[in-house]
Amino acid sequence: MMMKSMVLLSGALLMLGACKSSESKAQANAVMRRYNRPSPDVWAAVTNALQSLDLRIDEGRHDALGGQLTGTRATGDAVLVDVKSVDETTSQVSVSVADGNRNMADIIHSQIGKFLGTGTAKTGFYGGNRWEGTYDTSLSRAMMAAERAFEAMGFAVSNREIKETSADLMARRPGTQAILLRLETGTPAGQPAAAGQPPAAQPAP
């Protein structure tokens, strides 16, 4: 009887250790971002983002200071989203998928940002690296050049959001984090707009 109890106890400890190891791995590979919005707004964006990706929301608990949401992909992978209020206007969001699928977590963050408005993450959507440049060309030509560059580097454009004076391109390559490219058109006052672009708005007299 004693031997049987010891065996059962050992099995339970092994299972607990495996669960803790898996949980630690997922948390260690969680993707964390900050958004310039209060936690209630971010929480609403999180639930909308998961629903837009057809993820099942299993449980969600939150208050004015943040909350935690658990969900499941169609593949059975677990999704954990933790929202914390940093201050009255800033929230921190941590997303982990399965044992640390950072690419999937990046996609969820991009959807959260979409529902909040592009560019709301303080540290950037994908790791905080940012580079800016100015080019003398039209928005449409800049988009074509960007897509050619992505293709040459082995990146596939997975999402396009095109507006009258700006465009957002998201591209990814297997085994790497996604890249979010934002293109904006701006014509200096007194100069004609680039070919194919509307003229810049003139200030009211």
In the predicted model, what is the mean pLDDT of residues 81-101? Answer: 89
In the predicted model, what is the mean pLDDT of residues 53-77? Answer: 91
**pLDDT band with cut points at 50, 70 and 90 for residue 201:** very low
- CA–CA dist 1, 110 (Å, integer): 56
**pLDDT band with cut points at 50, 70 and 90 for residue 96:** very high
Question: Strand 66-72 relative to strand 78-85: parallel, antiparallel, unpaired?
Answer: antiparallel
Given a cut of 60, is residue 191 above it in pLDDT?
no
pLDDT of residue 196: 43
pLDDT of residue 84: 93
In the predicted model, what is the mean pLDDT of residues 2-26? Answer: 47
Given a cut of 80, is residue 195 above it in pLDDT?
no
**pLDDT band with cut points at 50, 70 and 90 for residue 48:** very high
Start-to-end CA distance of the chain, whole Å, equals 93
Q: Which domains are assigned to the chain?
A: 25-116 (3.30.310.80), 139-184 (no CATH)
82 close to 68: Cβ distance less than 8 angstroms = yes
pLDDT digits 0-9 by tens, 125-176:
444 455 666 777 888 888 888 888 888 878 888 778 888 888 888 787 776 6
Q: Which of 122, 127, 95, 99 is nearest to 111 (CA)?
A: 95
**pLDDT band with cut points at 50, 70 and 90 for residue 193:** very low
* Beta bridge partner(s), residue 84: 66, 92
Q: Which residue has the higher pLDDT, 178 or 148?
A: 148
Given a cut of 70, is residue 49 above it in pLDDT?
yes
Q: ∠147-150-156 over CA atoms, to 5°? A: 90
CA distances to 29, 39, 156, 187 from 179, in Å: 18, 26, 10, 26
- Measured in degrees and rounded to the nearest 5, phi and psi for residue 14 equal -65, -40
pLDDT of residue 117: 78
177 close to 164: Cβ distance less than 8 angstroms = no
In the predicted model, what is the mean pLDDT of residues 37-61? Answer: 91
Residue 155: HSE in the Cβ half-sphere, 13 Å Cα cutoff: 19
The three-class DSSP label of residue 197 is coil
Residue 60: HSE in the Cβ half-sphere, 13 Å Cα cutoff: 19
